[in-house]
Amino acid sequence: FNSVDSCLSSLKNCQSYINTGMEIATHVALDLVESFNDVEDVNSMENVMLEYAAMDRELQHYMTAVEETVNWIKREKPENIPDLKYLVKEKFTALESKNTDSDLQKNEKYIYFKDQVKEMRKQYNGNEAIEQIDEDIAVTQSQMNFICPITQMEMKRPVRNKVCGHTYEEDAILKIIQTRKQQKKKVRCPKIGCSHADVKGSDLVPDEALKRAIDSQNKQ
Tell me: the pLDDT tens digits for 64-117? 999 999 889 888 888 887 888 899 999 999 999 999 989 999 999 999 999 999
Instruction: Give the C-alpha separation, 125 to 208, whole Å.
Output: 17
- Higher model confidence: residue 176 or residue 130? 176
pLDDT at 217: 82
pLDDT at 137: 45
| Mean pLDDT rounded to a whole number for the chain | 87
pLDDT at 112: 93
- CA distance readout (Å), 123 to 4, 88, 151, 152: 49, 48, 22, 20
CATH superfamily ID and name for 158-218 = Zinc/RING finger domain, C3HC4 (zinc finger) (3.30.40.10)
Residues 108, 53 contacting (CB under 8 angstroms): no
Q: Where are the domains of the chain?
A: 1-125, 158-218
Q: What is the pTM of this model?
A: 0.74
Instruction: Give the C-alpha separation, 49 to 68, whole Å.
Output: 28
pLDDT at 156: 94
pLDDT at 144: 65
**Percentage of the chain exceeding pLDDT 90:** 60
pLDDT at 79: 83
Tell me: the pLDDT tens digits for 14-65? 999 999 999 999 999 999 988 876 788 899 999 999 999 999 999 999 999 9
Beta-carbon neighbour count of residue 114 at 10 Å?
15
pLDDT at 80: 83
pLDDT at 142: 52
Give residue 185's pLDDT band: very low, low, confident or very high (50, 70, 90): very high
What is the DSSP-derived secondary structure letter of residue 99?
A: -
Instruction: Give the C-alpha separation, 82 to 171, whole Å.
Output: 53
